[in-house]
């Protein structure tokens, strides 16, 4: 595809407004005065149902490009198979949340008093509605999440009984599964709720899920790493302040700002990645949002996905212990080659869709340049960035030699004293709930069906193409 064609495709995919068969049906910045996200959503759903109906009527029977057999064997790369309006990933440009780049979100979304990073409350409003919320709408969300934050006692007990040797992600997934005990959706389904109303209890569960994650993450962190008693949620403060406080870092305004940026940029990465897709798939069986999200967390816990942030830190620490904190370029190159020759991947590099430096990496690098420019590990991360792409290109396997989000997050957390790398993916999991929850709400609102793609045997593939070129 020519770069002009690619650019025009990109322009076309920027949903600053939703359209009904070409007609604009809503706005990119909110005109709504309502403070309640649920009320705003109730206004938007009927219009979006019409929008989908019109799109299907106009295009539903059209072919969407060929599928080649390699895609069946190759992890379905590039297979157009899902619809999700919340975010779209362009291979060169990176992620846009409802049409907005990360720098645009940093500029447009409301901030905390004195802060300069976007509040994730605003990002959630944007993902759900396609609109930039007002400060008052975001403040109302902070309050609502604080009010819903408490965990059932038995979930606290489950976490307290986990051995500290159980990986934090397994504990996280256990706790989220157990929240299904109080699922509004599961109860409503048992009580015979009609399909058109599914989104209401899904919304309630999703809000509860997001609200309770700081208490789950804080409890796991303190139990596993023995860092003292969990404080209470402060209902006058924003979500990220509370998360940072429960983890024991609330006194440091820079760490709180980091959490605001971190949760915003890790929230969503279109629909096809392992965690987002798992959440959608499990939700399509009408498993409630807690069951769907715990399944998503188990996918996020894999080293090729969210666990890569842990792997990066491990790799960096090993590198430092082997060649020192301020190695020469040649020493770093040798270490990278040794990793590759040992049959391992360079963690934090490569991507299934991206073909340029991940803008989530860039956003974190800019944060580091502002807050910790002299940090030795940050400098090492920058040095690695200058060396890895050429080496991966020379090695000749990876389609994308550039860094992804995970190449940078651990060094920021370590700088502020959170050096327990086994915990990093839990923070990713707190954030990814925002995207998966938004998607589950819309899937139920739009009546998304049970997912059921077709699988084939190798014998069937051979037979189908037996006498064909
Ligand atoms: C993200 C990732 C899983 C994408 O996988 P993918 O879509 O299959 O990537 P590619 O098509 O480029 O892979 C082609 C080959 O290059 C290799 N490759 C890709 N990225 C690599 C890396 N960072 N280091 C070494 N080899 C890499 C793959 O392992 C694969 O090798 P194989 O043919 O022997 O199996 C892969 O780049 C990776 O493992 N990266 C490191 C882990 C990571 O950072 N994950 C977080 C992603 S956000």
Q: Residue 242: give its domain's CATH number.
A: 1.10.580.10
| pLDDT (average), residues 42-66 | 96
Same domain flag for 272 and 172: yes
pLDDT for res 22: 35
Dist. CA 104–CA 96, nearest whole Å: 9
Distance 343 CA to ligand 1 centre (A): 12
Is a pLDDT exceeding 90 seen at residue 10? Answer: no
| pLDDT (average), residues 222-227 | 93
Closest CA to 261 of 159, 175, 371, 168: 371
If one counts the domains in the chain, the total is 2
pLDDT for res 467: 86
pLDDT cut 90: percent of the chain above it: 91
| pLDDT (average), residues 232-244 | 97
Range from 124-128, 218-222, 310-314 carrying the lowest mean pLDDT:
310-314
In a domain, 60, yes or no: no
Does any ligand 1 atom lie closer than 6 A to the CB of residue 349?
Answer: yes
- The 10s digit of each residue's pLDDT in 159-216 is 999 999 999 999 999 999 999 999 999 999 999 999 999 999 999 999 999 999 999 9
Same domain flag for 145 and 253: yes
Determine which residue's CA is closest to atom 31 belonging to ligand 1.
397
Same domain flag for 211 and 276: yes
Same domain flag for 147 and 285: yes
Neighbours of 144 (CB within 10 A): 19
In a domain, 166, yes or no: yes
In a domain, 289, yes or no: yes
pTM score of the predicted model? 0.92
- The 10s digit of each residue's pLDDT in 460-469 is 999 999 988 7
Does any ligand 1 atom lie closer than 6 A to the CB of residue 304?
Answer: yes
Same domain flag for 261 and 188: yes
Dist. CA 290–CA 283, nearest whole Å: 9
In a domain, 222, yes or no: yes
Of the residues 266, 269, 277, 351, only one is catalytic, namely 351
- The 10s digit of each residue's pLDDT in 274-306 is 999 999 999 999 999 999 999 999 999 999 999
Does any ligand 1 atom lie closer than 6 A to the CB of residue 421?
Answer: no
Neighbours of 223 (CB within 10 A): 20
In a domain, 357, yes or no: yes
Range from 9-13, 130-134, 442-446 carrying the lowest mean pLDDT:
9-13
In a domain, 337, yes or no: yes
In a domain, 63, yes or no: no
Is a pLDDT exceeding 60 seen at residue 2? Answer: no
Query: Residue 352 maps to which CATH number?
Result: 1.10.230.10
pLDDT for res 207: 98
In a domain, 439, yes or no: yes
Is 419 marked active-site? Answer: no
Does any ligand 1 atom lie closer than 6 A to the CB of residue 404?
Answer: yes
Dist. CA 263–CA 118, nearest whole Å: 9
Q: Which domain holds residue 248?
A: 141-304+421-445
- Give, to the nearest 10 degrees, the angle between helix 239-247 and helix 199-225: 30
Determine which residue's CA is closest to atom 6 belonging to ligand 1.
352
- Which residue has 């009010």 as its token pair? 147
pLDDT for res 14: 38
Q: Which of 349, 350, 385, 402 to mutate to test the pocket of ligand 1 (most atoms within 8 A of CB)?
A: 350
Same domain flag for 298 and 314: no
């Amino acid at each position: 595809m020519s770069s002009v064609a690619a650019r025009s495709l990109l322009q076309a995919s920027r949903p600053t407004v939703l359209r009904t068969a070409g007609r604009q049906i809503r706005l990119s910045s909110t005109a709504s005065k309502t403070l309640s996200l649920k009320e705003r959503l109730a206004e938007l759903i009927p219009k979006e149902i019409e929008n989908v109906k019109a799109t299907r009527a106009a295009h539903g029977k059209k072919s969407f490009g060929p599928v080649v057999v390699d895609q069946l064997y190759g992890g379905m790369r590039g297979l157009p198979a899902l619809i999700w309006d919340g975010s779209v990933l362009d291979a060169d440009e990176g992620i846009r949340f409802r049409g907005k780049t990360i720098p645009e979100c940093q500029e447009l979304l409301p901030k905390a008093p004195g802060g300069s990073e976007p509040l994730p409350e605003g990002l959630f409003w944007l993902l759900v509605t396609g609109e930039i919320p007002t400060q008052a709408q975001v403040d109302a969300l902070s309050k609502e999440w604080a009010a819903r934050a408490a965990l059932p006692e038995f979930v606290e007990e489950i976490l307290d009984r986990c051995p500290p040797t159980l990986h934090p992600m397994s504990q996280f997934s256990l706790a989220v599964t157990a929240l299904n005990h109080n699922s509004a959706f599961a109860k409503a389904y048992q009580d015979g709720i009609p399909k058109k109303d599914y989104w209401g209890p899904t919304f309630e569960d999703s809000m509860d899920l997001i609200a309770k994650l700081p208490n789950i993450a804080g409890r796991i962190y303190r139990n596993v790493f023995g860092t003292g008693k969990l404080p209470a949620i402060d209902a006058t403060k924003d979500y990220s302040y509370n998360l940072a406080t429960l983890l024991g870092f609330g006194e440091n305004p820079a760490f709180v700002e980091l959490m605001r940026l971190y949760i915003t940029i890790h929230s969503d990465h279109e629909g096809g990645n392992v965690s987002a897709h798992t959440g959608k798939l499990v939700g399509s069986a009408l498993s409630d949002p807690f069951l769907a999200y715990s399944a998503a967390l188990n996918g996020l816990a894999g080293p090729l996905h969210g666990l890569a942030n842990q792997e990066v830190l491990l790799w960096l620490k090993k590198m430092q212990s082997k060649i020192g904190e301020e190695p020469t370029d040649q020493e770093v190159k040798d270490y990278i080659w040794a990793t590759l020759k040992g049959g391992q991947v360079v963690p934090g590099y490569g991507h299934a869709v991206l073909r340029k430096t991940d803008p989530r990496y860039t956003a974190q690098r800019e944060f580091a340049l502002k807050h910790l420019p002299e940090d030795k590990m940050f400098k090492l991360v920058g040095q690695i960035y200058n060396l890895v792409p050429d080496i991966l290109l020379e090695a000749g396997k990876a389609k994308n030699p550039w860094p992804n989000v995970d190449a940078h997050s651990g060094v920021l957390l370590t700088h502020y004293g959170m050096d327990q790398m086994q915990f990093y993916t839990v923070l990713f999991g707190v954030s990814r709930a925002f995207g998966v929850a938004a998607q589950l709400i819309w899937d139920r609102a739009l009546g998304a069906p049970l997912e059921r793609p077709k699988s084939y045997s190798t014998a069937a593939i051979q037979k189908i193409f037996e006498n064909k070129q």
